[in-house]
Amino acid sequence: MSTQLGIGIDIGGTGIKGAVVDLGSGELVSDRIKVKTPEGGRPDDILAATEELLGRLSADFDDSLPLGVCFPAIVKHGRTLSAANISHEWIGLPAEELFEQTFGREIHFINDADAAGYAESRYGAAVDADGLVILTTLGTGIGSAFLYDGVLVPNTELGHIELDGTEAEKRAAYSAMEREGLDWAQWAERLQRFYAHVEFIFSPDLLVIGGGVSKHHEQFLPLLELKTPIVPAVHRNNAGILGAASLAAK
């Protein structure tokens, strides 16, 4: 049986990374290439940087491979309706079309947390999970992805839930821990408030915690008291790449 491959590109506020993925196993079959996100994150600059990265990936592979791009924004009908840690010039743009024009080919375009959630349902912590899985990425903000019986429900923004008079991510994101010099226990108290609220509203069957800080999960997950099982993500830095490539092939 031939191996099906796809290309995933993950655009973030600080870096743009991509790789060729074996869609059967979720393994990377190329080096992961990373370029710096251009200062200011303006549309023309990001399009040019992403085109350069794709050129490097495509040099050794067939350029007809399915191509998925994930992006730090609400994405609806190919348009970016928000902008996290990139230029606000993206808001309202037909971004999928702009990338397709730049690359000269079709792509699948999706929110970055949704891509990460899909990757965990296909290849990671939520494989074969029944019911509602909620993945949250704890980083500069809080991204989220909902999957029901493995089907993605896109564009949830749990980080923007208002809790105690402020957006949840302003107090509970990993950046808040760093900014305010909180220890693990102090930060876990804020996570407890956030996840208990999410649990009450949505009654999930599984919570998956992603983002770079999930590699330190033993420092804070045991401090949370929830009814829902809560586990660390498997594919931290590669989740966006895997999810974008997999959804493009689908």
The verdict on residue 122 lying in a domain is no
pLDDT at residue 13 in the model: 87
The verdict on residue 84 lying in a domain is yes
The verdict on residue 120 lying in a domain is no
Which pLDDT tens digit goes with each residue over 119-143?
Answer: 999 999 999 999 999 999 999 899 9
User: Do 29 and 22 contact (CB within 8 A), yes or no?
Assistant: yes
Q: Could you tell me if 73 and 132 lie in one domain?
A: no
pLDDT at residue 237 in the model: 84
Give the range of the structural domain holding residue 44, as residue numbers without chain letter: 5-114+239-249
User: Do 75 and 95 contact (CB within 8 A), yes or no?
Assistant: yes
User: Do 51 and 33 contact (CB within 8 A), yes or no?
Assistant: no
CA distance 126 to 189: 25
Query: Which positions of the chain have pLDDT values less than 70?
Result: 1-2
230-232 and 206-210 strand pairing? parallel
The CA-to-CA distance between both ends of the chain, in Å, stands at: 18
pLDDT at residue 174 in the model: 96
In total, how many domains does the chain have? 2
Q: Could you tell me if 21 and 94 lie in one domain?
A: yes
pLDDT at residue 85 in the model: 84
Q: Could you tell me if 223 and 244 lie in one domain?
A: no
Q: Could you tell me if 89 and 139 lie in one domain?
A: no
Q: Could you tell me if 19 and 84 lie in one domain?
A: yes
Please tell me whether residue 186 adopts helix, strand or coil conformation: helix
Assign residue 62 a region: left if phi > 0, alpha if psi is -120 to 50, beta otherwise? beta
Q: Could you tell me if 245 and 216 lie in one domain?
A: no
Q: Could you tell me if 24 and 103 lie in one domain?
A: yes
Tokens of 221: 């997950």
pLDDT at residue 1 in the model: 37
Q: Could you tell me if 22 and 106 lie in one domain?
A: yes
Give the domain CATH number at 182. 3.30.420.40
For CA atoms 144, 148, 151, 156, the dihedral sign is negative
Report the candidate in 236, 3, 222, 31 with the shortest Cα–Cα distance to residue 120: 236
pLDDT at residue 225 in the model: 98
